[in-house]
Structure 1
Amino acid sequence: MTATATPDVLAPARLGPVELRNRVIKAATYEGLSHRSLVTKDLVDFHVAYARGGVGMTTVAYCAVTKEGRTDRHQIHWTDDAMPGLRVLTDAVHAEGAAVAAQIGHGGPVADARANGAPVLSPSGRFHAPILGWARRASAADIRRITEAHAEAARRAVEAGFDAVEVHLGHNYLASSFLSPRINRRTDAYGGSLANRARFAREIMRAVHDAAGGRIAVIAKMNMDDGVPGGFWLDEAIPVAQWLEQDGTVDALEMTAGSSLLNPMYLFKGDAPLREFAAIMPQPIRLGVKTVGRHFLRDYPYRDAYLLEHARQIRAAVRLPMILLGGITGRPVMDLAMREGFAYVAMARALLREPDLVNRLRDDATTPSLCIHCNKCMPTNFTGTRCVLVDPGTTRRDTWGKPAGYVG
């Protein structure tokens, strides 16, 4: 039997119906650059920089499927008013030779109730200490409405010129919170057994697949591990991944970890920038972050490809193309992902530091990443996501934090 050759990470590849110029994807990182739920020139420039820098595809983060699903008051959701700007963004990325994906989802218990003017939704009505408030139990009507909203988001993504949608099934946003036995205490068809807890996610993926109609790629981003006691873990993630494969609703799986609700640093690894987070918070939240933030924002040791150990167990259980996320910093770890059977790699922090890293890796495979995993980029998503180590002492914070005007 002839052995399969290891793919070249920088060679063209197909993702569902889409041809990518290479296998490197700019992972979704909330940009903080939309304004009043509309695309700005800053947001377009943000993604054009990665396209120009060589990625195969860049991902526009957290395009909420409903207004009440937003996690930030300026976050894009799929309104008629947003569509012209989204088309400007996709055209600009395409002009640089890259593809562009829209990450779609519903914030659920992580949504911003005050900004949205609506209560947050959760599988079970309960008090969530991190959001300092009660979440309303999602009704059967809510589930149907939000499932259809995902389908409508996919249809609108096609209309706006996106090449793919990445459906967020992780981080304890709404679909992920249904998967979690810690958060989901329902006793109906959407709670209890794993099959029931996975029902909502599977219905969302079927709706998105049908709405996409093979015109764009469909990616599912799903947790392997919530990083909290009693949460969703690898032993349940494996069968859910297998069910998604059996359903035939996804073109690729991107495995992730952590809970934006209960343990956000579990995904990122590296330093927890408590001082920087506290500095951007209003009182009394600022005092709370300073005094007890260490219990919520924990340090985890960083190493390259830190999600590989769990992700390879999913890789062994399904035949679907998979995207390796987490600690992708340079050519050695990219090549490792290819040897391990992953079809693509997704980069975030390393590209925030160096948007042109992929081009420089093409020129010189030994190019090291300059990212030091300090995670001080994380608090900047309130003012325009960036690496704080780039151009120190300049006014880049002001330039990126104040949208330079709408587009479209």
Structure 2
Amino acid sequence: MSAPDVFAPAVLGPVRLRNRTVKAATFEGRTPHGQVTDELIDYHLAPARGGVGLTTVAYLAVAPEGRTHAEVIVVGPGTASGLARLAEAVHETGAGIAGQVGHAGPVANGRSNGVRALSSSRMPSPLSLQMIRSATERDLTRVTRAYVSSARTLVQAGFDVLELHMAHSYLISSFLAPGLNKRRDRWGGPLENRARLARQVARAVREEVGDEAAVTAKVSLSDGFRGGVTTSVGLELAGLLESDGHLDALQLSGGSSLMNPMYLFRGDAPVEEFAAAMPLAVRLGMKTPVGRSFMKTYPFEEAYFREKALGFRERLTMPLMLLGGINRLDTMEQAMADGFEFVAMGRALLREPGLVDRLAAQRGSQGPSPSGVCIHCNRCMPTIYAEGGTHCPEVPA
């Protein structure tokens, strides 16, 4: 059986997409008041007009304390009309739209949000310099209901796909990581307990939306820090999620926004630029040896998560999205040959929003596989906090 064509129409759960390319969720920095703006719409129109099958809005919080910081959109009645306007604009290009739905947990800046962050267990926050409180049973019931309410709002707004965030040390991920989850109740200990929140949220969201939208999850191949989700834990979690049958696909990611972000990004670590963009207390902390170790350096290579992801492909039958350093046509075609159903791209599309259309047009030409032009300097990362929002510094303003 031949591999599917990455540029041909594809089905994701109940949703039909024009191709198998996904613009991954990368925070846009274009919602200064927590509302959809024209700038946010333009940000997603660029890759949508450039050929992607699905563009993903990041990051959409289910609760005020679940924002990474105060400017993040909280899904609800006050933001629904703007989200509908965004979805309509994307649909006019022929692309689908996904919303990355989540609760930031310990990655939330409680001082910015004006409400203490939550985690699986009590811990100090390097972002707010406050103590993060341990989530109670009441909190977890409330958060699960908030996922359901957010899912309903997004479906009514016209979103095609709901991506549940279960990675990067966000709230669900903090329960999965044994080094962060010190609980001795039914939410801690063996993975069956630590995975309870992930499975509960996936089930509740699916029961709410049925086949009105595709439901996927972003999960970790490896968190990249001692005490985080390992590849074996990630595989076991993925097996549980598959057996539950509530998800249409998994997007395979890695790293920790709290403990080791460069494990996800690879390439150059822009320590000075990142420190300059942060609040004074964090900036000073990043100049210490401990702070500098936060921005580790990992050499970039094309499709750097492929080897770990192949282990998931061998174990699972459900659709999988390959993410991590995908820039070239031959990489995309290899992913299809490997059995992955979709490819997700972030920085490459930030550098060149029309990359998908260009690669499709150049396929079959003589010479080496056409490639994107992202140089993986990662200087786009600090622009999250800059005026004008996330952008590639290599692209002239």
Query: What one-letter code is carried by the residue in structure 2 that aligns with 1:229?
Result: R
Q: Does 1:380 align with 2:383?
A: yes
Q: Does 1:58 align with 2:55?
A: yes
The whole-number CA distance in structure 2 between the counterparts of 1:390 and 1:271 is: 18
In the TM superposition, residue 304 of structure 1 has moved relative to its aligned partner by: 0.6
Contact 2:126 2:282 in 1 (8 A): no
Structure 2 partner of 1:323: 321
Residue by residue over 1:257-291, the C-alpha shift from the partner in whole angstroms, topping out at 9 and shown as x without a partner, is 11111111111111110111122123243233234
In the TM superposition, residue 224 of structure 1 has moved relative to its aligned partner by: 1.7
The whole-number CA distance in structure 1 between the counterparts of 2:143 and 2:329 is: 40
The whole-number CA distance in structure 1 between the counterparts of 2:44 and 2:329 is: 22
In structure 2, which of residues 4, 25, 30 is the aligned counterpart of residue 7 of structure 1? Answer: 4
Question: Cα RMSD between the aligned structures?
Answer: 1.1
Q: How does 1:93-104 map to 2 (within 5 A)?
A: 93-104=90-101
Structure 1 partner of 2:347: 349
Query: What one-letter code is carried by the residue in structure 1 that aligns with 2:355?
Result: L
The whole-number CA distance in structure 1 between the counterparts of 2:173 and 2:333 is: 30
The whole-number CA distance in structure 2 between the counterparts of 1:284 and 1:344 is: 41
Contact 1:253 1:322 in 2 (8 A): yes
The whole-number CA distance in structure 1 between the counterparts of 2:215 and 2:76 is: 21
Structure 1 partner of 2:394: 389
In the TM superposition, residue 115 of structure 1 has moved relative to its aligned partner by: 2.2
Structure 2 partner of 1:256: 253
Contact 1:277 1:289 in 2 (8 A): no
Percent identity, please. 50
Q: How many residues align?
A: 389
- With normalisation by structure 2, the TM-score equals 0.96
Q: 1:116 to 1:161 in 2, by over 3 A?
A: same
Residue by residue over 1:170-213, the C-alpha shift from the partner in whole angstroms, topping out at 9 and shown as x without a partner, is 00000000000000000111100010000010001001111121
Query: What one-letter code is carried by the residue in structure 2 that aligns with 1:186?
Result: R
Stretches of structure 2 lacking an aligned partner (at least 5 in a row)? 364-368
Structure 2 partner of 1:368: 371
- 1:225 is paired with a residue of what secondary structure? coil
Q: Does 1:29 align with 2:26?
A: yes
Structure 2 partner of 1:399: none
Structure 1 partner of 2:179: 182
The whole-number CA distance in structure 1 between the counterparts of 2:283 and 2:38 is: 31
The whole-number CA distance in structure 1 between the counterparts of 2:68 and 2:26 is: 13
Query: What one-letter code is carried by the residue in structure 2 that aligns with 1:379?
Result: P
- With normalisation by structure 1, the TM-score equals 0.93
- 2:287 is paired with a residue of what secondary structure? helix
The whole-number CA distance in structure 2 between the counterparts of 1:126 and 1:73 is: 21
Contact 1:110 1:131 in 2 (8 A): no
Residue by residue over 1:226-281, the C-alpha shift from the partner in whole angstroms, topping out at 9 and shown as x without a partner, is 11112210111112111111111100011111111111111111111011112212
The whole-number CA distance in structure 2 between the counterparts of 1:33 and 1:85 is: 13
Query: What one-letter code is carried by the residue in structure 1 that aligns with 2:280?
Result: Q
Query: What one-letter code is carried by the residue in structure 2 that aligns with 1:13?
Result: A
- 1:186 is paired with a residue of what secondary structure? coil
Query: What one-letter code is carried by the residue in structure 2 that aligns with 1:381?
Result: I
Moved more, 298-307 or 122-131: 122-131
Residue by residue over 1:95-117, the C-alpha shift from the partner in whole angstroms, topping out at 9 and shown as x without a partner, is 00100000000000011201222
Residue by residue over 1:300-342, the C-alpha shift from the partner in whole angstroms, topping out at 9 and shown as x without a partner, is 0110110111111111111000000001102010011001100
Stretches (4+) displaced over 4 A? none
Q: How does 1:129-140 map to 2 (within 5 A)?
A: 129=126, 131-140=128-137
Query: What one-letter code is carried by the residue in structure 1 that aligns with 2:13?
Result: G
The whole-number CA distance in structure 2 between the counterparts of 1:196 and 1:58 is: 33
Q: Does 1:112 align with 2:109?
A: yes
Contact 1:222 1:256 in 2 (8 A): yes
Q: Does 1:217 align with 2:221?
A: no
Contact 2:148 2:205 in 1 (8 A): yes
The whole-number CA distance in structure 1 between the counterparts of 2:355 and 2:311 is: 29
The whole-number CA distance in structure 1 between the counterparts of 2:235 and 2:53 is: 28
Q: 1:127 to 1:279 in 2, by over 3 A?
A: closer
Contact 1:182 1:231 in 2 (8 A): yes
